[in-house]
């Protein structure tokens, strides 16, 4: 079995469409959506597209999905910084018809994949959808985060940067982000089976940015500029996440 792992789409439908075209050419048997389908500029259209796929699709919940569900229920999450709360509320209004669908997504998922054995999919860590770590977080700190994960290979996302590292006896691979990558523009994802293959899909960034700017998403202009056309560099984001790297 070959699996495509697509994480952190954040309502970027043009990026998702480009990735799905490559998945269609990659002899994939199943797709795992690793959380944070939302919030973002085209949340309803993005989930509807995933639900129409002619491949088996499994979802897990990310912290973005969770705070949107909380907003649908009338709860404003304190973990969302003030500048982004309007976007979460807007996404909640867009996603009300999918509330029961999203609420059913589990936090983790395990699959047997040819050549890899058991693979655990989580959004951030197996115990949390929001814990931060990067490729340079000290191993001694991460041992406790992944204690009890119970699989030789863990696939995660959340920090929007691809990496492949060993933590104790466990291999942990970050799939990166389809819709909001940090580093080079494009759409990042993983192809799994029989090996682990990081992918970056190119797409028409200018057309995507124009499409995003035409939405009513409160953060549309910034999303088009900083998530599509000119993402922050990996070095910039590693510095921003520096607190996660403290030993």
Q: What is the CATH number of the domain that holds 133?
A: 3.60.21.10
With residue 191 as reference, give the H or E element that holds it. strand 187-192
Over its length of 247 residues, how does the chain's per-residue pLDDT go in tens digits?
999 999 999 999 999 999 999 999 999 999 999 999 999 999 999 999 999 999 999 999 999 999 999 999 999 888 999 999 999 999 999 999 999 999 999 999 999 999 999 999 999 999 999 999 999 999 888 887 777 777 899 999 999 999 999 998 899 999 999 999 999 999 999 999 999 999 999 999 999 999 999 999 999 999 999 999 999 999 999 998 875 554 4
Q: What is the pTM of this model?
A: 0.95
Distance, in Å, from the CA atom of 178 to the CA atom of 121, rounded to the nearest integer, reads 16
Tell me how many degrees the CA angle 42-44-49 measures, rounded to the nearest 5.
Answer: 95
Of 13, 11, 238, 14, give the one whose Cα is nearest residue 132: 238
Alpha carbon distances (Å) from 176 to 82, 85, 96? 25, 24, 27
Identify the three-state secondary structure at position 14: helix
Question: Residue ranges of the alpha helices (H) in the chain?
Answer: 13-24, 43-51, 63-72, 82-95, 99-103, 139-145, 205-213, 220-223, 234-240
Provide the number of structural domains found in the chain: 1
Q: Which domain holds residue 9?
A: 3-245
């Amino acid at each position: 079995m070959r699996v495509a792992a697509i994480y952190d789409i954040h309502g970027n439908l043009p990026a998702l469409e480009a990735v799905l075209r490559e998945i269609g050419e990659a002899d994939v048997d199943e797709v795992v959506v690793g959380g944070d389908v939302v919030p973002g500029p085209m949340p309803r259209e993005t989930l509807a597209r995933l639900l129409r796929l002619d491949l088996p699709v499994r979802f897990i919940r990310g912290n973005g999905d969770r705070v949107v569900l909380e907003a649908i229920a009338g709860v404003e999450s304190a973990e969302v910084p003030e500048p982004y709360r309007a976007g979460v509320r807007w996404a909640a209004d867009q996603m009300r018809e999918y509330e029961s669908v999203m609420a059913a997504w589990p936090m983790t998922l395990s699959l047997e994949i040819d050549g890899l054995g058991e693979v655990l999919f989580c959004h951030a860590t197996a115990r949390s959808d929001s814990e931060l770590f990067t490729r340079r977080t000290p191993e001694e700190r991460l041992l406790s985060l992944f204690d009890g994960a119970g699989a030789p290979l863990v696939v995660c996302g959340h920090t929007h940067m691809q990496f492949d590292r060993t933590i104790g006896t466990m291999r942990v691979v970050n799939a990166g982000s389809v819709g909001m990558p940090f580093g080079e523009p494009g759409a990042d994802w993983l192809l799994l089976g029989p090996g682990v293959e990081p992918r970056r899909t190119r797409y028409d960034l200018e057309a995507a940015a124009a499409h995003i700017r035409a939405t009513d998403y409160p953060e549309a202009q910034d999303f088009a500029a900083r998530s599509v056309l000119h993402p922050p560099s990996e070095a910039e984001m590693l510095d921003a996440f520096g607190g996660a790297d403290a030993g």
